[in-house]
A and B are shown apart, each in its own frame.
Chain A
Amino acid sequence: MASALQFTAISGAHSEEAVCYLLEVGDAKLLLDCGSFEDYSGEGLARLQRVARQVDAVLLSHPDMSHLGAYPLAYAKYGLTCPAYATQATHMMGRLCLQDVVRTLTAREEFTQFDEADVDAAFENITALQYAQPKTLPGRHADIVVTAHAAGHTIGGTVWTISSGGETVLYALDFNHMKEEHLNRSSLMEGAQGKVSTRLMKPTLLITGAYTALHRVPPRKRRVECFLDTVARAVRRGGNVLVPVDSAARVLELAYILNEWWSRDKARRDTHALCLLAQCSRKTRSFAQSLAGWMGGGVEAQLADRDAKPFDLRHVSTVQSVEELDRKLGGDSRARGRQRHAVVLASLESMSGFALDLFVRWAAGKKNVVILPQRGPPASLARHLYTRWWDRTQARRPTDTPMKLGAARLSRAHVSVTVKKRVPLEGSELDAWRAQERRRREQEAARDALLKRKRDMLDDDDVSSASDSDAADAAAADRRLGMAAAAGDMDAATFSQLDLETERLLSGQTYDLYVRGRGPVRGLYLVSKSYCMFPFQEKNRRSDDYGEIYDLETYMIQPDADDAAHLLDTAAPDADKPYESDTAARSETRPTKPVTKERRLQLNCELAFVDMEGRADGTSVSNIVVQLMPKRLVIVHGTSASTTALADFCRDPTVEVTKEIYTPAVGEILNVSSGVNVYRMRLADALVKHVPMAAVQGCMVGFVSGRASFSHEDQTPVLEPDHAELTNAWRPPMLVGDPRLSALRAVLVRQGFAAHFDSEGTLVCNDAVAIKRASSKRAKCDTIKILGTPSPDFYSIRAVVYAYLAVL
């Protein structure tokens, strides 16, 4: 029987917020994407927290914040530790995207939600897939198969199909129907003649986004031209160009376009540097190179070249801090005696981080230009600037024409920004910090002392003692504790709690130790329990029965068994240095504090918006939805206006995609089961052998009838021929086939008939016989009507039509 389907939007419905949806297939809960923007706040996260523990699988579709921003947070803090799936490219670039964000945030503010280790742990949990690799979910949900298909838009970007029983869910949010410089078009569009791919057609449920539904943009070629043009003008007048980008997804397309453009013109190379400014920009480049196989477009052509380095971005300098950028520009200025300017692709997309740093610096310069390649997350600075630009440029544009792109000046405009950064502590604050640090050290020392005492007590009990070095023991004990913490699934808070208890115990205040552990999880709620226990530590025997002293190292679980098995372990400590250096080390040594400053900036620079989002535009999305012919349609991820617009388009009786179109609000539970019934039946050989099968549209069809019988072995019914029935029953013969006249025409032409369509869509054959589609009086099915005089043409054409269809 078919599975029940339920859909709930956790975030990103009737809004352009980051996306996160819950799809329930039978009793399996699938989380479709897990996005959050870098502010890490909002209702969406709270709702995600509520369901995270129950989720059975996570599917991530694009390596950007909107699609996987919340994943490490949910993995580390909300208990979203179920299996997760993403394509190899999404996996790699997604991790990079989050590393970049974490570093950006920790370098500027008190960011404690999660750290880089959480990102790594979360992404280690992801199973990397290839496109078109059917993946069966593990365990009791083995009836569900998820498959990734190329979506375009970002490298590794995915359109997911989730199939179970008779249901096929197509989750296609941000896809691109066009080929780009570095990416191929979506698999959705792999059908013949630019049509929708047939294998993805007719899903029982289509979940799609209305993000671009009201967006009318000029053709891609014009947009690229406009983008380069805007850059070129700024370069000519000696200005700086700031392009805020994400750090792992769309940045690749922009970097690639700029790099190609740069390589064509030497002159601008002398005056301007082309830079990619992100926390991990070097990794971005090196990852992208190794992922060249996931790209298409121009890169694909390069792959075939013997010595080309695909996606080498030769002209793009990767810089990882503003200081490095300054050094780069300044250094050259000394050498050449003139100030170098820069075209900088700077993270983040929302214009916080480096993009903001540069914006603050360049906003007042008249020659400079800020180019927004995307609209940016709602409520971000990028979006604010976009809105300002829109109000300025599109006022007199007639609706329903493509938007005008390009630069505009907002004369005498101001913009308020919130600048966050860390400043070194000074004066009393520094003293306070030092005092705190001292306390912390003392506490640590006390704990060490406690551990040591405990050990000594154990050692005293043991016959063979003392001789071992204390250092090794302490290390081992630490590791033990660490392991205990991991095993008990205690987070840091619980652990420090335990420390406190231990301290109280030491000081003789109490004799009972309360260990707060997690009880069994029931439903949504955590049942917390405290267990009373006597502080008893089991003695660790340090020698075996023969007096041989245990070597703890022998029994330690190696972090990477197969690596250790290698003759030469690859430690490669020096290799890390150039890539992960300063930020982490610096924050350790010098105490800093985050400060937030509101600044009002004079906006003298040019402001431009050129749509380089790489998403299918509104018209294409609606066309694709129509062609996909879904049985049910859920529209999310778009403002209420655009969601409604797309829904209305699909509801239009002339289009009539489907009658079941939903535009759920956040949190609304939709039942979208189709109720298709399915069971399996074995066909007896005797039955199949005698059924005349006719070929039609690449299938064989035939009418079968029989009686069901059950063998002893299993539950599957067998359809056996029923001889009495076969001889008695007479059915009127039935024709089946493809009623499209264009297909019929092809067949007629192939057999030597002259066949063409007249202006009314009637197929005229040999100028003697007319064939048209008609609505039948008798049956509610497709009807082909043949009209003509009794002539050889009539009969021969009728014979062709009969042969073209199959007789059941």
Chain B
Amino acid sequence: AMAAKRKAELVVPVEDENDLLRITPLGAGREVGRSCILLQYKGKTVMLDCGLHAGHEGINSLPFLDEVDPATVDLLLVTHFHIDHAAAVPYYLEKTTFKGRTFMTRPTKGVFRWLATDYIRVTNTSNSESTALYSEADLVSAHAKIEEIDVHQQIEIGGIKFTAYNAGHVLGAAMFLIEIAGVKVLYTGDYSREEDRHLVPAENPGVPVSVLITESTYGLHNHEPRVDREKAFMKQVRDVVRRRGCCLLPVTALGRTQELLLILEEYWRRYINELENVPIFFISALGKTGTRLYKQYVMDMSRRIQRQLSKTGQNPFDFRYIKTRTGASEVPETGPCVVLATPGMLQSGVSRKLLERWAPRPENGLIITGYSVEGTLAREINNSMDDIPALAGGRIPRRIAVTNISFSAHVDGAQNCAFIDEIRAPFVVLVHGEENAMMRLRANIVDKYKGSDYEVAVHAPRNAQAIELHFHGEKIARVMGGLATKVPGQGDYAAGVLVEKDFNYTLVDVADLHEFASIAPVVVEQQQYVPYSSSFSLLRLHLEQMFGELPLTTEKSNSGETNILRVYDAVDVSHSSWKTHVEVEWEGNVMNDMAADSVVAVIFNTESSPASVKITQGRSCSHSHATADETEDNGDGENNGGASGLVRTDDNQQIAAKLALFLRQQFSQIDVAEDNSSITVHLGSAHAVVDSCTLNVTSDSQVLKSRLAPIIAQVHRTMRPLAHRATALPEEPPLAQDMQEKDEADQELEPELDMEADEVDPDPDQEEAEAEPKDGLAAEQADANDMDSMAVDSNSDGSNSHDDSDGEDGGTEAQETATPTPTTADGVDASGSQSR
């Protein structure tokens, strides 16, 4: 089946970019060090490890992080605390735009904190300040951002599911199984399959894995069995001690060293009678911290350690025979003794000092247990050097016995192949190995399975070289609830709402949406208040002219009669005899919205159309008196509103413009300040200044002030009908008093009023009566709505066109000026991205 799938891959061009799984090593591609592997699939990006290269310095030791925009990385998973896997994490978290989440196992996080501190300290002393990639403060801040994951815990973040599995290697080392949209990728990190004294060996997750990214440090090289190595190690130690020599073990502070300590402790406990007088020292600045950390994380170690703890109640890392010290002051000049000292490659420090002290005597012994980098004394001393260079200068004769026993916990060739065979992933990606070793391993795997039923594609990409694998995930939906009462037969019709969340599909009936997907169907009802003060019969006439015969419902209440017309069986128009507006109500969707818009347009037209004038014998609307000035102003106002499009821009500007419009209709002489901040009203000798921001009125004349107050209140109410709910629509404000006050003011100022003002002013003598529906307020409202109804204009296609054609033009203009705005924005965006 696998073969068929891959053949298909060759033939069928990849239709969907999203089906490509990209694996890019940003480090550790055909090299050892700076592990950093990028995984991209279905728009998700996961970074696996982020380490530094020990062979380079400063910025050069970083992986090729430029290959990906850090802001797009969703997740950073770190397998273990070694420098080449984790040391670039603080840099990535603090010095880049990375905003994703970072996970480590609890012990990894705990140990990494102090190992990195030590690393900063060492790099700062050995190099100049400038090469340091981050400071202790950065580390602390980054460390706080790192989250913990327990082994076997499964976490899901935005569709990326990942689980940590034991990897052996060092305390807290994890393999990660990452699942995105059904494709499972297993990244081993550094791993070991041998059970040692304290760690759980790497496990097989036991699920089918699509891609295996595995280390290949040792290529095809095979180790000696661990038990033999341990035996050889103990024999060497015992021999040195028996001949009363000093045994020196150069080690790192954390990691495999603790395994050695466990071996020594156990051996000493067993043969304490013989070894009573042989002290063991562990000399390291981090030694105490390391032991404390290991004690703390015993629950993350093997069952053997845990059983030891639960049997005796004593922590196996509470060493009785090993003395942890920070300096070599207690170490005796002559043996027998055993000393574990840092650093591990004898570059400098305590281990080097002790070596220089002990090198000339043949009864002493040096055991090198770790991996030694080319160029260090630990690597060179093997080659039967007769003398060694002293740090102080000169050379010291070497007679000390040197042994090499590797305790580094990586899988060897055979174990790696066995693991690959166990996992049986169709795609294997090799990382973390030297090129030759990696290629040999690759050839070996390919040869081994050639022609067998397990056809495997082995990749060994270089750094920054992406490999693309095509996966076409099947989409399987869980059908739930009412839809699932019966499994359909061949050819049965099925329909429902498909909900996709984090690559999981659920198919449910509309009625079950809320229950299974927490998504509710929502109805958007809309109700508009359209100013209208004429009779119902007029309204009905106009609506029926437009929409044909309409069903009518009549409701009677104490206040009067409410007539409801239903248009297109969707829009209700309800007219109450005592209200000066019509309520238009409908359930929002594309069709109904259109119908409602046309209804509203008809209502707007009803009162101003010549036909109505004829029928009602009433007056024309106040607009007919607009001067050229006003129209211009009006246009400006519209323009202003139009330019802002659907989003409000300058509120005050708009208010000021509209306020000016209102005031101009009431008072002939007004001056608008240039910045629109205030409007000065002249009425005869009296002046009043209206602040267009706060709408405060300042004036010497109390009379003018009191006259302005209700007008301004009304303006505000018209523009912001809900600002004061007490007086808001649909309730009619108590007008009578206002009117009366206005009357008085008018009378007082009568002699000085000029003609225009008189004309514009609605007749104050008229009683507010149902017989005359068109009072001043309604007119104002109508005006305001006209001015505000830019959107209506565009929607109803100028159906409210009346004698004020200039105003409409303004609206159209506004529309045209408004439209280019987003385009420009796009253009800027596009150019911006191009330049980038």
Contact = CB atoms under 8 A, between A and B. Distances in A.
Interface string B219-231: 0000000010011
B296 A769 contact: no
A790 B785 contact: yes
A710 interface: yes
A196 B521 CA distance: 24
Interface stretch (A264-272, A365-373, A612-620, A671-679): A671-679
Nearest to A133: B152
Nearest to B148: A293
Nearest to A683: B475
Given A132-B150, A735-B522, A795-B791, A705 B494 contact: yes
Contacts of A737: 519-520, 522
B480 A678 contact: yes
A567 B227 contact: yes
Contact of B315 (A286, A310, A736, A779): A286
Residue among A722, A764, A790 having the largest count of chain B Cβ atoms under 10 Å: A790
Given A130-B150, A131-B150, A717 B487 contact: yes
Contacts of A283: 310, 313
A570 B647 contact: no
A785 B507 contact: no
Nearest to B529: A789
Contact of A779 (B296, B310, B499, B521): B521
A356 B131 CA distance: 67
Interface of B is mostly: mixed
B153 A751 contact: no
A88 B521 contact: no
A676 B480 contact: yes
Given A303-B110, A736-B513, A795-B791, A705 B493 contact: yes
Interface stretch (A435-443, A514-522, A797-805): A797-805
A719 B491 CA distance: 9
B499 A290 contact: no
Given A579-B313, A796-B646, A290 B295 contact: yes
B600 A784 contact: no
Nearest to B488: A708
Residue among B267, B288, B488 having the largest count of chain A Cβ atoms under 10 Å: B488
B499 A700 contact: yes
A565 interface: yes
Given A568-B267, A789-B530, A774 B722 contact: no
Interface in A118-174: 129-134, 166
B195 interface: yes
Nearest to B230: A567
Interface in A270-324: 280, 282-283, 286-287, 289-294, 303-304, 306-307, 309-310
Nearest to A808: B497
Contacts of A567: 227, 230-231, 234
B450 interface: no
B492 A707 contact: yes
A547 interface: no
Interface string B366-409: 00000000000000000000000000000000000000000000
Interface string A767-791: 1111000101011011111111111
Contact of A735 (B106, B153, B523, B531): B523
Interface of A is mostly: mixed
B52 to A, nearest CB: 22
A709 interface: yes
Given A303-B110, A682-B474, A768-B719, A794 B791 contact: yes
B339 interface: no
Given A779-B523, A790-B789, A805-B522, A677 B110 contact: no
A736 B477 contact: no
B236 to A, nearest CB: 13
Interface in B457-498: 472, 474-481, 484-485, 487-498
Given A130-B150, A134-B154, A708-B488, A789 B518 contact: no
Contacts of A579: 312-314
B261 to A, nearest CB: 14
Contact of B295 (A287, A289, A699, A789): A289
Interface in A403-431: none
Interface stretch (B421-429, B584-592, B666-674): B584-592
Q: B interface, how many residues as a size bin? A: 35 or more
Interface string B347-379: 000000000000000000000000000000000
B206 to A, nearest CB: 10
Given A739-B520, A766-B720, A796-B791, A682 B475 contact: yes
Given A708-B489, A737-B522, A703 B497 contact: yes
Interface stretch (A29-37, A50-58, A250-258, A689-697): A689-697
Contacts of B295: 289-290
Given A282-B313, A575-B314, A676-B480, A786 B526 contact: yes
A739 B522 contact: yes
A361 interface: no
A776 B525 contact: yes
Contacts of B314: 286, 575, 579
B602 to A, nearest CB: 12
B289 A307 contact: yes
Contacts of B789: 790-792
B520 A280 contact: no
A706 interface: yes
A134 B593 CA distance: 50
A459 B499 CA distance: 78
A735 B521 contact: yes
B494 A792 contact: no
Given A129-B152, A733-B589, A791-B791, A572 B312 contact: yes
B525 A786 contact: yes
Nearest to B305: A290
A133 B475 contact: no
B527 interface: yes
B480 A790 contact: no
A683 B647 CA distance: 41
Contacts of B152: 129-130, 133
Given A567-B230, A568-B267, A795-B791, A703 B151 contact: no
B299 A291 contact: yes
B512 to A, nearest CB: 9
Interface string B52-73: 0000000000000000000000
A790 B527 contact: no
Contacts of B648: 752-753, 766, 793, 796
B721 A709 contact: no
Contacts of B526: 785-787, 798
A131 B150 CA distance: 8
B494 A303 contact: no
Nearest to B510: A734
B313 A286 contact: yes
Interface string A565-593: 11110111001100100000000000000
A286 B309 contact: yes
B137 to A, nearest CB: 15
B86 to A, nearest CB: 17
14 contacts: A563-B304, A567-B227, A680-B477, A693-B498, A708-B491, A770-B722, A776-B587, A779-B523, A783-B525, A786-B588, A789-B528, A789-B788, A790-B785, A795-B791
Interface of A: 88-89, 92, 95, 129-134, 166, 202, 280, 282-283, 286-287, 289-294, 303-304, 306-307, 309-310, 562-563, 565-568, 570-572, 575-576, 579, 676-683, 685, 688, 691, 693, 696-710, 716-717, 719, 722, 725, 732-739, 751-753, 758, 764, 766-770, 774, 776, 778-779, 781-796, 798-799, 801-802, 805, 808
Closest 3 CB pairs of A and B: A705-B495, A796-B646, A767-B720
